[in-house]
Chain A
Amino acid sequence: MTDQQQPEARRPADGPIVERASAATPSRRQVLKAGVLMGAGALATQVIAACAPAAASSSPNAAPSSAPASTGPAPSASAASGPSLDPSKAVRIWIQNYGDPQQQADALATISAAFKEATGVTVAFEGLDWATAEQKWDLAMTSGDLPDIGDMFYLPSRIVQGQGKWGPVDLTSNIDAGDFGDWNRIVNASRDESTIDGKVYGIPWRIDIRAWTGRSDMFASVPKTIQDLESMGLEVLKKSGIQTATTHFAQPVDALHQGGLAFGTTFLSPDYKASNLLDPKWVEAANWMRDLTTKKIFSAQSEVDQKFNQNGSFYSGTTGAVYGGGTMVNEAKGVAPQVVPLMVSGLQPAGASGVSWSHGSCAQWSIFQNSPAIPEATAFLAWLSTDPDMSHALNQATSTISADTDVQKLDKEPYNAAFYEQAKNIEPTDMPIVAWNEMRVFPDGPLNVMANRVWGSTDDIATILSDGHKAITDILAKYP
């Protein structure tokens, strides 16, 4: 399903893609320099035109006097070789709100201004609240009333919803042409998540990697294996004020996924076409998860109670770690700064294979088919995604981490290092198939219900898995 290899280093000195990419994708400095030259050229043309007879200045090839100085060179290969950019068009972008709203707004304003300066094209961002983002996207996808670019989740569903008319644009040829730089620099799982039926529909810009987040005053060190987790967890439970040794992060289905990966299994077959829940390893995994819940090493509340404050219990010290936590350090700096010095990150405890496995979900930038500004939108994404500094600034401002290994190298936050290390062995949190959306519906989709039953009921594990298998098989049959 996902390569276990680390994504290749981006742009090796002699790679053919590198040559194409570096030739085709000028740096921002080059773009600005060319823009200044073009501006000077336009100014000179105007001066000459003013001295020339009237007929000469009305030539259709003459540079328009009001043209922005920097509209000349396109920032990417496709834009340079394809249609030129139209500065009268504005690129509208929907992005979900992350972290500090003011920081995000400032970063987006900087990005817009820099792109405007480089190309003359206006970029307008609109922030969407996560609480209503899904409905907003679903409703927009029913009518095609969409922006030019979107910060995507449930990408496969958007392709179906778009009906070939306003869904995400297939960017495969641009990627093959190197418009977005070396594709191999993107984390494997994120590439997988953005590729549906062999076609790439989005450029990953952030990734939510799940790894170990512990408190050094509770866990003496990061447990390397699931056996270590159990023995160290039992020790943590002896401390006062502790309710459970760990909690999980995000939805119950994510915790179930973690448990399966520790035992070397996952929800679907490698081709995503069949349920894998009858794999005997699932029985082992589910029994292990329930056993650790009974021993209070895992938290049942974290899975079954939608309002349980997973990160809050970590900050308040009623739990010692988040098993499969996200990159919480920026959040902690804001809401619980006293905990930051205690926070330790690490790889997920390994199962029998001895290799730590986890999962991660990415968000992609996608362009929509009915956009009136596809060349401009493509140029913008090419410009942003091939500028590691600008991309890093966006990740910093949104308290996210990048799916681009080049941008990851710019991150000096020591806490995040383990997450980048974990990214070498992750599989997609969200499977790149249309049926996935229905499988993981929150809170009552079959996978979340399965997880709830494993942690919150006394139902027979084999029955739970068999029910889950049937529900998943039925859903897969609906999406041939």
Chain B
Amino acid sequence: MEVGSSLDRSRFRRSIRRHGWPLLLVTPVAVILLLFMYAPILDAVRLSLTDASLLRPGQAQAVGLDNYLKIATSKEFWGIAGQTILWSVASVAGACVLGVLAAVLLTTHRRGRPLRGRVIIGGLILAPFVAPPVVSAYTWIYLYSGSGPINGVLNALGATEPVYFLGDTVTKILGVALPLWSMIQVGVWHGFPFFFLMVAAALTSIPVELHEAAEIDGATGWRSFRSITLPLIAPVLEVTIFLELLFRLGGLDLPFLLTGGGPLGLTNVWGVFIYQVGFARLEIGYGAALGVVLFLICTPFAIWYVRRSRRQLAGF
């Protein structure tokens, strides 16, 4: 008995010696995450089970799953699901296409030489990415306004009426209101530099010999891109697409700043809606429940991303 317990003790001491230092280093981060990330998430879950209102602080009553039942039958929440998905998918898809195109054009060698001025052009491409969302949003609000430069050009071309890109409640394109299309356009503009950055980095890791060999075999242009470039940048592209989708699905900044969900709710998305419920209607309990539901909607994407990253790491 005594021998066994002394063995256990020495094993424990050895384990502490081996893992103690790393554990000590991880502790501050773990404590910060626990306090500022997980505790608020757990508190939001607790809050979502109450009727908490900022109008009646400290008087929240437990209501069980009432808020979740309200969400399940909420025409508002599910009504804007389509807009949220369209905003996320279309703006990410547009940004992806534009970003890949820019990266390929800028990294392609012409007659064995890199494109002249690529550093300056690359810097200009990155400008929307570097600009804070509030700057991007207000720039586009100005550009799109009734007396802004875009309408100035349309006017010079003969348009008699200004186009209210962010405020038109009548015009629809493919069944979607013009303000939502305008918001998607700004999303593309703001998001494509990130794709450009990621894809340009991935492109530099493709051996030049592959393209040279393909050229000898007669594959140039589109064929070379489809058969060589695209498969090799696909892992980076996948991760970037899913990260961007995650940001857009639960995001608040651009839609909130551009239109605040209006006009007539035509550009409302989940992030803005949750903000409105919590901080404009002051229904903080219901707002928390909406946040939890959005968290659950986004979780599969996050899990997919983590698994994918693990698989990629295992491959190295």
Q: Which residues of A contact B (CB under 8 A)?
A: 134-135, 138-139, 141-143, 157, 160-161, 163, 243, 300-301, 304-309, 312-313, 316, 318, 434, 437-438, 441-445, 452-453, 456-457
Contact = CB atoms under 8 A, between A and B. Distances in A.
B297 to A, nearest CB: 21
Contact of A307 (B57, B258, B276): B258
Given A161-B57, A163-B59, A305-B167, A441 B145 contact: no
A441 B281 CA distance: 6
Interface in B48-96: 54-59
Contacts of A457: 169, 264
A300 to B, nearest CB: 8
Contact of A306 (B56, B146, B162, B262): B262
A437 B162 CA distance: 35
Given A442-B280, A444-B276, A457-B169, A304 B264 contact: yes
Given A438-B281, A442-B280, A456-B169, A304 B57 contact: no
Given A243-B162, A316-B147, A318-B147, A304 B59 contact: no
B265 interface: yes
Contact of A452 (B161, B259, B260, B264): B264
Nearest to A452: B264
B169 A444 contact: no
B122 interface: no
Contacts of B150: none
Contacts of B161: 243
The 6 closest A-B pairs by CB, nearest first: A305-B167, A142-B57, A304-B263, A456-B169, A138-B54, A306-B262
A444 B54 contact: no
B141 interface: yes
Contact of A444 (B141, B145, B259, B265): B265
A160 B260 contact: no
Contact of B146 (A163, A308, A444): A308
5 contacts: A304-B264, A309-B145, A318-B146, A456-B169, A456-B264
A161 B53 CA distance: 9
A420 to B, nearest CB: 32
Contacts of A161: 54-57
Contacts of A443: 260-262, 276, 280
Interface in B135-186: 141, 145-147, 161-162, 164, 166-167, 169
Given A307-B145, A309-B145, A457-B264, A157 B55 contact: yes
A243 B264 contact: no
A305 B164 contact: yes
B282 interface: yes
Contacts of A138: 54, 279, 282
